[in-house]
Each structure stands twice: as C-alpha cells, then as structure tokens.
Amino acid sequence: MFTRTVAIGGVFLLVACVCPRTSGKGKRLQIERLGDLKDLKKLVRTRNNVLVWYKGRGSGNDKKLQLLEEVAEDVRGMGTVVWVDCGNQEARKICKKMKVEPGASGTLYHYKDGEFHLEYTRPETFKSLTAFMKDPTGDALWEEEPGANDLVHIHSEKDLHSLLKKAEKPILLMFYAPWCGVCKQVKPAFQEAATLVKKSHVLAAMNVHTPEFEGVKAEFGVSGYPTFCYFEKGHFLFNYEAYNAQANDIVKWLQSPEPPKPKVQEVPWNEQDSAVHHLTDVSFQAFVDEHPSTMIMFYAPWCGHCKKMKPEFEEAAAILNTQDGSPGVLAAVDAAAHRDLATQFSVSGFPTIKYFQNGKDTYTLPELRSKDRIIEWMHDPQPPPPPEAPWDELVSSVVHLTADVFRDVLKKKKHGLVMFYAPWCFHCKEAKPHFSAAAGQLEGDRKMVMAAVDCTKQQNQELCTQEGIKGYPTIHLYSYGKMVQHYSGPREESDFVEFMRSLPGRDLSNSQRSHTEL
C-alpha cells in the first residue's frame, strides 16, 4: 500500500492505494484480502460463486495462500476466491459476525447465488479446488474417495495413450460419467478390485462425459456409461460387461479374461399355441372391427411385468374362448415391434391394457392383472375409476424434483431419500401413501428430505437415465447430492421412518446451523 497526496479544488487529500499483489515473476495474483464486513457482504451478493478462506493462525498458511492464488487464476471468470485474516484484530470482527471459528489452517466457506452454500471439506489440492469451483454442485472427483488410491485416474487423452503405450500389465479401464447412477454403484467394487490385483493388473478410470473426449469415446466405442475396456500390452481386446459384479467377480474374471457372451434374445410370445390373438400393424384394425368386444394387452418382450402377466392373460383367454356366449376375446400387440400402434393409442408404459368396443378405443384399464379380474370385467365391462390426481399435485411433505433443480436441492441435505417412479406403476402407487406419510413425520428435520421424481415426464427422462433407473419404483439415498445407497427395504411408512432415523447426523433440535444473512 502507498499514499499519494492530490489536490482537488484547492483541498489536499491523502489517498490510500492498495497495489495488486504480484508473484516473484511479476504475475498479478487474483486472490483479494478483505478486511471490511460490508465489502464481504457486497461481494457475496453480487457474485454467484465465491470461495472465502477465513485464515487461522497456524503454520503453512503461506503455502495455502499460494495454492488459493493459483486456484483463483485457473477459475478466473467462473468464480471468485478471497480471504479474511481472522488473526487480525479488525478482521476478527468479520469472522465473528459470519459465525466462523477457523482452525489452525483456516476454514473455507463457499457462497452461491448470494447465500451460504457449504463448508468446503474436500481435499485442499489444486485439482480438487478447481474442480469444485468450476462445478460447486457437482460430484467430488473419484480420486478424492477413500479407497480409490490404487486406481489409475486418467485425466486427458494424452495420459490415456501414454498409459497404454507403456503398459506392462493388463489393463481394465472404466470409462464413466460422474452423474451416471450405474457408475456410482459399481465404483466401490471396482476400486476394491484395483487394490486386490494391483501387483498383477492395472485398473484405471477415466471421466469422459465432457465434449473434449468425443474422440476417445469414438476410438473405444463408448456409447454408454460405464464402458469397460480390457487391454493387454496396450492393445484393446474386448469389453467387460458384468455391471453388477462384486470385487471378487472382477478379480476372478481378470484371472481368465474372455469376451462377453452373445446376448440371448428375448423369447417371443408363442403365437401358434396361444389362446390370445396376436395383432400387427396390418391386422389390427380389421380385427377390432370384426370383434365388438376386445381386450388388448400392449407389451414389450423385455418387460418384466409383462412376462409376469402373460400366463394370467393366456389362461383368461383360454377360458373365455371355451365359454358359451363368450363376452369377448383377448388380443396382444408387441409394442416394441409395432411402434406405430403404440404411438397411435398413446401407450407409454408396459403392459398397457385397453378395451376396444365396436372397433374404438374405449377404456384403458390399469388395474387388471389377474386371470379372475380379467374374466370378471369382460362379463361386466365398466369404465375405470377416474384417475387420481398426479402425486405432485397432492398436498404432502414429499418434495417433487425436476431435472433442473435435482442437484441443487439434494446438495443442501445431508440425507435425501428419492423415489424415482412412473404414475402408471402399480408398485409405485402402493408405496406412495407410505412414502408421503413418512415424509410428514420427518418434515421437522431440516437435514433430511424425502423427494420424488416422475421419470415419465420428458424433462426428467435424461436425469433418470443418468441415475441408472431401470425399473419403478427405484429408491436411492443421497448425501449432499451424492448417491450413496440403493434402498431395497420394505415400503411401509414405519420402514421408511426407521431407515431415515437410523442415519447419522440427524437434526434432532429442528434447527440448522445458522449463518449471517447476506
């Protein structure tokens, strides 16, 4: 700092000027020191991505300041890094007002969109800090996780080809995306396997979801996440496809690696020996015109619920076919093969049961699944009860999330239990009232949230794919936005409540750590 005397209108003023700090090479440093509470509040209000280091009195602070200066330079234009010296008598008032008690090495607080976001607890390294500042609500780097030290983490195309060129051991490489639900589920087993085989093999991981890795994905055929590629002497041999494998399964496979077996095609519905009439795009309309009372099952060969219902539907058709004065016939459409029909009749899930009267689509019947119910209904066709209001329109303590707010909401909660569902799903309907009641019981705990995502809504479909949702309902537990566990327990109200109350760090006082309003 220097002083300069200037004359304005005959009045002499002493102006204090703060010079920008420079490194030994004359490079301007980006981190700013703040000593006034108003300046700090203004900065946080006017910028949407601010990291504040509240400096303590411990040793090593010069190195930490240098690290933060390098981070500030790297994230310039995307985020702001500043520091407050809590050891200074004047600045100590700021720390007290902001309710910060820094330890010896200080405390890092992040502010987002004008409000306190979180205390930074990830590794204080250049890579972790810059990754955080570039995506404050994103997932932590895989290499930050405990137990991931024996994995080789690849960060660039150059590093990848260097690893393959120098490879002496066989390599199993996992291409992944940080938001991928299946990737998150397989990570613990993969990194455990890396430790078990580190003397004989290399297990590596590479995050390739960003645009600069399109060439890598094309080179190794990465069309989805995760993709596992096996290499020997740096040459790709084949893929590994056991996505649900445990660590010992991976180790066993590496001892005798072999290409994946050809996928077994789904066995089609045996139409020749079926009592059900199987319709196509060509035969459909003529059939329903000819038969004035027809129940039709729209199905997909891979659909688990369809497979379960087929025997019931077959038996019901056989009984109706042998009855005198039969009330109607049963038919089926493979909606995966005859997509135009599925589109024409707004079939969005499987199985979908529709009733056609005199050639016209009359009713959609979501509740008919058993042989006896089908036969009973065909003898006395009645319109289905009016559809219930969408779950997100009902008053409850469940927070209904969409893709645009999903991460932001969960990042603020220590524990978030999320049900991914489809409105037409029978098991979802059974679980909804219990899930809602449990949310009501836990509403007072501000560190927890029970939330739901409708995966049939267009804006949520990519999110559900990213989270690895393949059936409904799927229930995941998140901690500060990171998926940590798949919930597979019972779905009664008491079960949900007991599970959530068993988690550590609950807010029993119905209060949350407060921060000064900015």
**Which residue is catalytic, options 86, 95, 183, 464?**
183
- In which residue are the tokens 């002497």 written? 233
**Which residue is catalytic, options 180, 425, 428, 464?**
180
464 belongs to the catalytic site:
no
Task: Give 4's strand partners.
Answer: 15
Per DSSP, the chain holds a count of helices (H) and strands (E) of: 16, 22
**Which residue is catalytic, options 95, 303, 425, 464?**
303
> Using CA atoms, how far apart are residues 227 and 31, in angstroms rounded to an integer?
40
Two tokens, residue 171 = 């390599």
Two tokens, residue 497 = 């409540």
Compute φ and ψ for 75, nearest 5 degrees.
Answer: -100, 15
- Helices 126-134 and 61-74: crossing angle in degrees, nearest 10, is 40
DSSP label at residue 226: S
- For residue 17, the tally of other CB atoms under 10 A from its CB is 8
> Using CA atoms, how far apart are residues 228 and 480, in angstroms rounded to an integer?
28
425 belongs to the catalytic site:
no
- 362-370 contact pairs (CB < 8 A, 24+): 365/295, 366/424, 366/426, 367/426, 368/295, 369/309, 369/312, 369/426, 370/312
Sign, CA dihedral 319-325-330-331, equals: positive
Two tokens, residue 277 = 């009439």
> According to DSSP H, which parts of 202-246 are helical?
214-220
DSSP structure string for 334-352: ETTT-HHHHHHTT--SSSE
CB under 8 Å to 458, separation ≥6 — which residues?
none
Q: Which amino acid is at 190?
A: F
Are the CB atoms for 212 and 272 separated by under 8 Å? Answer: no
306 belongs to the catalytic site:
yes
> Using CA atoms, how far apart are residues 258 and 36, in angstroms rounded to an integer?
65
DSSP label at residue 78: T
Return the H-helix or E-strand segment holding 354. Answer: strand 352-357
Return the H-helix or E-strand segment holding 193. Answer: helix 181-196
303 belongs to the catalytic site:
yes
**Which residue is catalytic, options 86, 95, 229, 306?**
306
CB under 8 Å to 442, separation ≥6 — which residues?
397, 448, 450, 497, 500, 501
- Cα angle for residues 492, 495, 499 (degrees, 5° grid): 145
| Catalytically active residues, by annotation | 180, 183, 303, 306
